[in-house]
């Protein structure tokens, strides 16, 4: 058994200016260093509270605490997936090939149809949330999730292959209230190699 540790903010696999013009340096820096960091800190603070309560034999509000913990851990894990499924401008976008390309064509009929459904899932999230492409091992089908906040509507055990953050904090500096413009821009910087690798890992 390995030693328990805290959550940590992952480094971005590219520079803060490398997603421009689709995501500005200012927007990405704020999103990563302030918003993502807040979920890491939030999750760690709750875990520390749990440790303390257990050591002291003290009671705590289990329902409220677990709800809050799910929110912060969900936020941390989804942001970590998001950074990794983006690629520097000029190096991402286009169409997926390989196992993923085939899987999407089989399920949705065409890549364009998938892109349309995923974009609609992203633009229509009520309030703050995410669209995620996931994969169900029981049916061998890719399925789109529309996640509210960081943890609502999640299918337990589905592997998440790709996400887009459509909280306003993800795009307001660049696109103001125009979420659809941000979703359009996202397609230019998707790292399909990474998304395909996540799918292929399922079958190994
Ligand atoms: Mn975010």
pLDDT attached to residue 67: 98
pLDDT attached to residue 1: 85
Does residue 140 contact residue 99 with C-beta atoms inside 8 Å?
A: no
User: Is 110 in a helix, a strand, or coil?
Assistant: coil
Confidence of residue 14 (pLDDT cuts 50, 70, 90): very high
Structural domains in the chain? Answer: 23-204 (3.55.40.20)
Confidence of residue 204 (pLDDT cuts 50, 70, 90): confident
pLDDT (tens digit, 9 = 90+) per residue, 162-183?
Answer: 999 999 999 999 999 999 999 9
Measure 56 CA to ligand 1 centroid, in angstroms.
Answer: 35
Q: How far apart are CA 160 and CA 144, in angstroms?
A: 9
Measure 5 CA to ligand 1 centroid, in angstroms.
Answer: 23
Measure 117 CA to ligand 1 centroid, in angstroms.
Answer: 21
pTM for the full predicted model: 0.97
- The tokens for 26 are 């200012």
- Only one residue has tokens 């941000």, namely 182
pLDDT attached to residue 82: 98
State which residues have CB under 5 angstroms from ligand 1, the bound ion. Answer: 35, 165, 167, 170
Q: How far apart are CA 19 and CA 197, in angstroms?
A: 21
HSE of 188, CA atoms in CB hemisphere, 13 A: 14
Measure 70 CA to ligand 1 centroid, in angstroms.
Answer: 15
pLDDT (tens digit, 9 = 90+) per residue, 119-152?
Answer: 999 999 999 999 999 999 999 999 999 999 999 9
**Around Cβ 71, how many Cβ atoms within 10 Å?**
18
- The tokens for 115 are 């892109």
């Amino acid at each position: 058994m390995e030693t328990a540790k805290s959550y940590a903010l992952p480094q971005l696999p590219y520079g803060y200016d490398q997603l421009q013009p689709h995501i500005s340096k200012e927007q990405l820096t704020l999103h990563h260093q302030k918003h993502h960091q807040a979920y890491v800190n939030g999750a760690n603070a709750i875990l520390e509270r749990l440790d303390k309560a257990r050591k002291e034999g003290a009671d705590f509000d289990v329902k409220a605490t677990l709800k809050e913990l799910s929110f912060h851990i969900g936020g941390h894990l989804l942001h970590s997936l998001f950074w990794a499924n983006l690629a520097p401008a000029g190096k991402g976008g286009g169409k997926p090939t390989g196992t993923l390309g085939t899987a999407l064509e089989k399920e949705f009929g065409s890549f364009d149809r998938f892109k349309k459904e995923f974009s609609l899932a992203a633009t229509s999230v009520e309030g703050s949330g995410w669209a995620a492409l996931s994969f169900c091992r029981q049916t061998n089908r890719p399925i789109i999730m529309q996640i509210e906040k960081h943890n609502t509507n999640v299918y337990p055990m589905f592997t998440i292959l790709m996400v887009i953050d459509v909280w306003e904090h993800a795009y307001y500096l660049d696109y103001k209230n125009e979420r659809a413009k941000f979703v359009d821009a996202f397609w230019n910087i998707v790292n399909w190699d990474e998304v395909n690798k996540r799918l292929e890992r399922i079958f190994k």
